[in-house]
A and B are shown apart, each in its own frame.
Chain A
Amino acid sequence: DAGVTQSPTHLIKTRGQHVTLRCSPISGHKSVSWYQQVLGQGPQFIFQYYEKEERGRGNFPDRFSARQFPNYSSELNVNALLLGDSALYLCASSLTGFSTEAFFGQGTRLTVV
């Protein structure tokens, strides 16, 4: 069975640009969460979606947005990129939306120059 897949794996963007990151959950999983992991730190919660509805939002600016599609895949969008947005962006999926059951993808490494 395929695990959580994220694309692209690596990305370089310029300050001020927009970026879209994609996540495909494990088959049958209805919940997707997004985390930002800055180098040397633990992941920070950004969003959770369950059955296409936003279930939770972390302390991130409005430049960050996300959505979940009918097939339960998800996109994370970041506008007006800043150098500080450089990080590993992790997606986690779970069957019921409980974080204790979540499986993480390998992440998208975003570098903003």
Chain B
Amino acid sequence: GQQLNQSPQSMFIQEGEDVSMNCTSSSIFNTWLWYKQDPGEGPVLLIALYKAGELTSNGRLTAQFGITRKDSFLNISASIPSDVGIYFCAGLTRGTDKLIFGTGTRLQVFP
């Protein structure tokens, strides 16, 4: 099935560092979503983006809806140990309610 490309695939950072990850698609999406998944749990929605160019924050997290509508970016500032997990982007196309997920970015934070 279709999956969006996320990079990097994994990140190992020190506590306090900032993190950037992105998600790209060959198709246009009308909505971009970012989720975090902890081991043994389902994904939890972090941020939803509805308009090209939109920049939205949720605490230390900031996400942007790319101008081309084919990409999105997530930044985490001042990382802490509980940021550890897998981050997924997901896209929604107009007229469907089917989420297309990315391949995931695994984040490890070291004290």
Taking residues whose C-beta sits less than 8 angstroms from the other chain, chain B's interface range is 20 to 34
Which of chain A's residues has its CB closest to B101's CB? A42
Asked whether, in the complex, the Cβ of A100 is within 8 Å of the Cβ of B92, the reply is: yes
Say yes or no for A92: interface residue by CB 8 A criterion.
Answer: yes
Digitize B66-96: 1 where CB-to-A-CB distance is under 8 Å, 0 elsewhere. Answer: 0000000000000000000000101010001
Residue from the set B3, B4, B48, B97 with the largest chain A CB neighbour count within 10 Å: B97
Asked whether, in the complex, the Cβ of B101 is within 8 Å of the Cβ of A48, the reply is: no
Asked whether, in the complex, the Cβ of B40 is within 8 Å of the Cβ of A41, the reply is: no
Number of residues from A at the complex interface, CB < 8 A: 26
Digitize B22-57: 1 where CB-to-A-CB distance is under 8 Å, 0 elsewhere. Answer: 000000000101000000111111001000000000
Asked whether, in the complex, the Cβ of A44 is within 8 Å of the Cβ of B92, the reply is: no
Given A42-B88, A42-B104, A44-B1, answer yes or no on A99-B98 (Cβ-Cβ < 8 Å).
yes
> Across the interface, which residues of A come within 8 angstroms of B31, CB to CB?
100
> Across the interface, which residues of A come within 8 angstroms of B11, CB to CB?
none
Q: Give chain B's interface residues, CB within 8 Å of chain A.
A: 1, 3-4, 31, 33, 40-45, 48, 88, 90, 92, 96-104
In whole angstroms, how far apart are the Cα atoms of A100 and B45 in the complex? Answer: 8
> Across the interface, which residues of B come within 8 angstroms of A90, CB to CB?
42-43
Which of chain B's residues has its CB closest to A59's CB? B1
Given A42-B88, A42-B104, A100-B92, answer yes or no on A4-B97 (Cβ-Cβ < 8 Å).
no
Give the residue of B3, B41, B98 whose beta carbon is less than 8 angstroms from that of A42.
B3
Digitize A73-113: 1 where CB-to-B-CB distance is under 8 Å, 0 elsewhere. Answer: 00000000000000000101000011110111111000000
Give the residue of A4, A42, A98 whose beta carbon is less than 8 angstroms from that of B42.
A4
Given A58-B1, A99-B92, A100-B31, answer yes or no on A43-B97 (Cβ-Cβ < 8 Å).
no
B1 to chain A, nearest CB (A): 5
In whole angstroms, how far apart are the Cα atoms of A56 and B98 in the complex? Answer: 7
Which positions 18-58 of chain A face chain B at CB distance < 8 Å? Answer: 33, 35, 40-45, 48, 55-56, 58
Residue from the set A45, A58, A105, A106 with the largest chain B CB neighbour count within 10 Å: A45
In whole angstroms, how far apart are the Cα atoms of A107 and B44 in the complex? Answer: 12
